Amino acid sequence: MTNSQAPHPLIDENKDDLFSSIQCVNIGSPFVWLRGGIKDLFRAQFASLFYGVCFALMGWTIVFFNGAGAYGLTLAAACTFMLLGPILSIGLYSLSADLEQNRPPNLRKSLAAWRGNVSNLALFALVSIVVVLIWARASAVIFAVFYNTGLPEITDFAGAVTSFENLDFLIVYFGIGLIFATFIFAISVVAVPLMFEKKTDAITASLASLAVVAKNPGPMILWAIILVGLISIGFLTGFLGLIYTAPIAGHATWHAYRSLIPVNRSTELRG
C-alpha cells in the first residue's frame, strides 16, 4: 500500500510553477500600472470610491483617538487599519478583475472577496501587525535615547526634520524605519493579489513577493516611490486625498500583479 501524505496547509505544493512564472519588467512599467489604476478608478467610479472613503475614515479614526489622548485606542485603531487594509485592497482587486474580464464592477461581490482565503489573509495581517508593533517599540527606544526631555511634540519633531537638527537621531530613526518599510513592501508586492485570485497560502505568497523584488530591483524601487507618493498625498490632505489615491494604488497593484505574474503563464494554485 502506498502512503499518500497530504500537503501542509501552509505550504503550496505548486509553488515552483508560481516562481517560474515571475517576469522581469522594464523600469517604466510602474507608470503603466499607475495609468491602469487611474483608468480603473474612473471605470469603477462609485464602487472604487467607496473603498477610498473607507481608507479615509480609518485614517480619521486613528487621528481622533490620538488627539483625544487615548493612545491605547490609537494603537488598536492602527492595528485594525493593518487588518482591514489588505481586505479592503482585495475588494479593489476584485473590481479590477471584473473590469479585466469586461464585466461591470460589482461592489457587493467585491465586499465578500476576502472570504475565499480568510485564514491566510489573517495570517498575513497578523505578521504585518507584529512588524508594526516592533517598529513602534523601536521608535520609542530611539526617542528615549536621543531625546532626554521625553517624547517631543509633533511640531518639535517636524522642526528637527526640516532643519536637520539632531542629525544622529534622523539617521537612526529613518534608517531603521526604512528597514521595516522595505521588509513590509518586499513581502507584500504581489502577496495579497495571489491570496485573492489563486488562493495561495500566506508563506508562498510572501516568498513570491520577495522573489519578484529580487528579480526586479529597479522597477520595484520606483514602484515603492510611487505608492509612497500616492499615500503621502492622502495623508497631507488630511486623509481626504485617500478617497482617490488609495483606490488608485489598489487598482494599480492589480495591474502590477498581472504584469509580474501573467495569467497566461501562471498555474492555478490550490489554497
- How is the chain split into domains, by residue range? 26-105+112-260
CA distance 203 to 189: 13
**Looking at beta carbons, which pairs linking 58-67 to residues 24 or more positions away fall under 8 Å?**
58/84, 59/234, 59/235, 59/239, 59/242, 60/239, 63/239
pLDDT of 8 above 70: no
pLDDT of 13 above 50: no
List, as one string, the DSSP characters of 199-216.
Answer: ---HHHHHHHHHHHHHH-
The pLDDT of residue 99 is 94
pLDDT band at 243 (very low <50, low <70, confident <90, very high): very high
User: Average model confidence (pLDDT) for the chain?
Assistant: 80
CA distance 262 to 264: 5
pLDDT of 171 above 70: yes
The pLDDT of residue 68 is 54
CA distance 175 to 39: 35
The pLDDT of residue 249 is 93
> What is the reported pTM?
0.79
pLDDT in tens, 23-40: 999 999 999 999 999 999
